[in-house]
């Protein structure tokens, strides 16, 4: 044990103070928005709401979560996230497995071809024109297909596969198992930790995706949650931009905006505590790779 001197105590106090301040800075904005979502309208507009709610009502929240567009967008986001994550994990693992075999002819070139796309891309416009050409504008496929493989995630899974003992596959091969069977029956069940981590990363990026829907979706039928939220956020912002009186009529109140933000955050907050142990492990896997 290190001895406790006065200097050491001051040092500790400083550290705790600094870190607590960091934690509070992170939490305060949430507290403020949460308070606004349940405070009385007059208190919000007169600037009385700080960290704690002033008055209490759930009407705004009820208005937001029962709005048909909100529910519809939520459904779209859930579908895109579920389908996208499962499909991504499957294709990413199927690609990573052959590439983890150095002796496979051509695997070296393919890895370079994948890595090249991490550093160089066609850019927004050629991507947009491609999606258009494929007839994917206003199609949920445009939110899933272009994001199927994230090269960084693929490399993490690949390096995990490389760390598995070779002998497992050899014995399966002797008993006549095909590559397909080896991957799905032996390798994948052994890779649960890395698949959980990468699955989480995929799920978060599908759930939070705002850029692709903004480019490729304009039908309100297919708007995911983030795009719907952006409409609310930007609309409310017009009050500070001197728009016409007509626009101002449609502006959702500050409370509605706060409630929409909170309602869209809740799904992440619900799963966050359960997933925390996985992502720390995942970052370690990714960084140890070196």
Partner 1 sequence: MYALLLPGLAFLLLFKYTPMYGILIAFQDFNIFGGIGGSDWVGLAQFEKLIHSSDFMNVLINTLVISLYKIVILFPIPVLIALLLNEVKRMFFKRTIQTVIYLPHFLSWVIISGSFITILSPAGGLVNEIIRSFGGHPVSFLTDNQFFRSVIVFTAGWKETGWNAIVFIAAIAGIEQEQYEAAAIDGAGRIRQMISITLPGILPTVVLMFILRIGSLLEAGTEQILTMYNPLVYQTGDVIGTYVYRLGLGQQDYSFSTAVGLFNSVVGFVLVLSGNMLSRKFLNRSIW
Position among 135, 138, 185, 210 found at the interface with partner 1 (CB under 8 A): 210
Greatest alpha-carbon pair distance for the chain in Å reads 77
Q: What is the contact mask toward partner 1 in residues 51 to 90, using x (rule: CB under 8 A)?
A: ----------------------------------------
101: exposed, middle or buried (C-beta count within 10 Å: 0-12, 13-18, 19+)?
Answer: middle
Binding of partner 1 by 290 (CB under 8 A): yes
The residues, ordered by sequence, that sit 6+ positions from 238 with a Cβ below 8 Å of its Cβ are: 247, 248, 251
Interface with partner 1: number of residues (CB under 8 A): 100
Comparison of 101 and 139: residue with beta carbon closer to partner 1: 101
Position among 71, 82, 86, 113 found at the interface with partner 1 (CB under 8 A): 113
Binding of partner 1 by 220 (CB under 8 A): no
Q: Transcribe 240-253 into DSSP letters.
A: GGT--HHHHHHPPP
Comparison of 195 and 254: residue with beta carbon closer to partner 1: 254
The residues in 8-37 that bind partner 1, with binding defined as CB under 8 A, are: 8, 11-12, 15-16, 18-20, 22-23, 25-27, 29-30, 32-33, 36
Tally Cβ neighbours within 10 Å of residue 16. Answer: 10
Proportion of the chain in helix, strand, coil states, percent, rounded to 5: 80, 0, 20
CB 92 within 8 A of CB 153: yes
The residues in 221-280 that bind partner 1, with binding defined as CB under 8 A, are: 226-227, 229-230, 232-233, 236-237, 239-241, 254, 257-258, 260-261, 264-265, 268, 272-273, 276, 279-280
Q: What is the contact mask toward partner 1 in residues 129 to 158, using x (rule: CB under 8 A)?
A: xx--------------xx-xx----xx---
CB 37 within 8 A of CB 255: yes
CB 208 within 8 A of CB 85: no
């Amino acid at each position: 044990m290190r001895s406790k001197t006065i200097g050491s105590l001051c040092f500790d106090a400083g550290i705790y103070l600094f870190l607590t301040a960091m934690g509070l800075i992170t939490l305060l904005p949430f507290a403020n928005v949460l308070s606004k979502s349940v405070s009385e309208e007059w208190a919000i507009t007169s600037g009385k709401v700080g960290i704690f709610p002033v008055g209490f009502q759930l009407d705004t929240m009820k208005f937001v979560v029962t709005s048909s567009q909100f529910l519809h967008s939520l459904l779209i986001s859930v579908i895109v996230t579920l389908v996208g994550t499962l499909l991504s994990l499957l294709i990413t693992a199927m690609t990573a497995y052959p590439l983890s075999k150095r002796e496979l002819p051509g695997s070296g070139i393919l890895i370079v071809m994948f890595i090249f796309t991490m550093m160089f891309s066609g850019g927004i416009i050629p991507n947009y024109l491609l999606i258009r050409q494929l007839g994917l504008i206003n199609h949920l496929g445009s939110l899933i297909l272009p994001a199927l493989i994230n090269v960084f995630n693929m490399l993490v899974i690949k390096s995990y596969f490389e760390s598995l003992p070779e002998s497992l596959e050899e014995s399966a091969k002797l008993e006549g198992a095909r590559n397909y069977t080896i991957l799905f029956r032996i390798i994948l069940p052994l890779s649960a930790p890395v698949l959980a981590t990468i699955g989480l990363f995929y799920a978060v990026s599908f759930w939070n995706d705002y850029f692709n829907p903004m480019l490729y979706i304009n039908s309100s039928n297919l708007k995911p949650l983030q795009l719907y939220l952006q409409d609310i956020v930007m609309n409310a912002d017009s009050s500070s931009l001197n728009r016409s009186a007509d626009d101002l009529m449609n502006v959702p109140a500050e409370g509605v905006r706060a409630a929409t933000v909170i309602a869209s955050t809740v799904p992440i907050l619900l799963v966050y505590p359960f997933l925390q142990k996985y992502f720390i492990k995942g970052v370690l896997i990714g960084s140890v790779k070196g």
